[in-house]
Amino acid sequence: MSECSHDCSTCGENCASRDKQSFLEPANQFSNIGKVYAVVSGKGGVGKSLVTGLLAVLAKRAGYDVAVLDADITGPSVPRMFGLKQQALGNDAGIIPVMTKTGIEVMSINLLLEEDTSPVVWRGPVIAGTVKQFWTDVVWNKVDYMFVDMPPGTGDVPLTVFQSLPVDGVIVVTSPQELVGMVVEKAVNMASLMEKPVMALVENMSYMVCPDCQKKVYPFGESKLEQTAKRLNIPMTARIPINPKLAAACDKGLIELFDGDWLDEISKELLK
Q: What is the pLDDT of residues 94-129, one digit of tens each?
A: 999 999 999 999 999 999 987 777 777 778 889 899
Q: What secondary structure letter does DSSP report for 138?
A: B
pLDDT at 163 over 90: yes
The residue among 4 and 165 whose pLDDT is bigger is 165
Residue 68: Cβ-neighbour burial (10 angstroms; 0-12, 13-18, 19+):
buried
pLDDT at 70: 96
- d(CA 140, CA 146) in angstroms, rounded, equals 9
Residue 208's pLDDT band (cuts 50, 70, 90): very high
pLDDT at 182: 81
Maximal CA-CA distance, the chain: 62
Average of pLDDT values for 160-176? 94
pLDDT > 70: what percent of the chain? 91
pLDDT at 5 over 80: no
pLDDT at 45: 85
Residue 1: Cβ-neighbour burial (10 angstroms; 0-12, 13-18, 19+):
exposed
Average of pLDDT values for 166-194? 88
Name the pTM for this structure: 0.89
Output phi, psi for 174, to 5 deg: -145, 180
Q: Please, what's the b/e burial string for 173-188 (b: 16 or more CB within 10 A of its CB; e: otherwise)?
A: bbbbeeebbebbeebb
pLDDT > 90: what percent of the chain? 66
pLDDT at 179 over 70: no
pLDDT at 133 over 60: yes
Residue 220's pLDDT band (cuts 50, 70, 90): confident
Mean pLDDT of the chain: 89
Of the CA atoms within 13 Å of residue 201, those in its CB half-sphere come to 27
- d(CA 170, CA 86) in angstroms, rounded, equals 30
pLDDT at 46 over 80: yes
The residue among 177 and 102 whose pLDDT is bigger is 102
pLDDT at 267 over 60: yes
Residue 140's pLDDT band (cuts 50, 70, 90): very high
The residue among 153 and 144 whose pLDDT is bigger is 144
pLDDT at 120: 77
Residue 22's pLDDT band (cuts 50, 70, 90): low
The residue among 179 and 254 whose pLDDT is bigger is 254
